Amino acid sequence: MNKQLEKELIQKAMEMTKLSYAPYSGYHVGAALLTKDGRIFTGCNIENASYGATNCAERTAFFKAVSEGIKDFEAIAIVGAPADEAAENTFSDYAYPCGICRQVMQEFCTKDFCIIVAKSTEDYKKYTLQELLPFGFGGLH
């Protein structure tokens, strides 16, 4: 994947933090998921007073794609920050996917699936799914 596409994914993830519904944690997360055929599905975190009903940004993006028949993925970019930082597009730390999101990735992605965690379009890190979930359980790939 080229740098321009990585930056586009990060920018879309940053934009998605503005749509986040996070009245309980105050932590706004955005994700942009790239399919193997070049489409991008976005997601934001959607919290609920019953915390178990909360959905992470990454899973929102995956579930949107899968609900449209897409199951082949190349990469995801993730950003997150408290509301004040997200509103200003300043992200002071990397937002890594939680364990549940990593397990969803395990279900639909290959071990070399690229996970980008970013503070900006210039400051980001890339990992493979295998690096972030070295002994993943199950999955079809």
Identify the three-state secondary structure at position 120: coil
DSSP 8-state secondary structure symbol assigned to residue 38: S
3-state secondary structure of 13: helix
DSSP 83-114: HHHHHTT---S-----HHHHHHHHHHS-TT-E
Q: Which of 6, 47, 58, 74 is catalytic?
A: 58
Q: Do residues 76 and 32 lie in contact, with contact meaning Cβ atoms separated by under 8 Å?
A: yes
Six token digits for residue 117? 């965690």
* 58 belongs to the catalytic site: yes
Return the amino acid letter for 71. Answer: K
The catalytic residues are 58
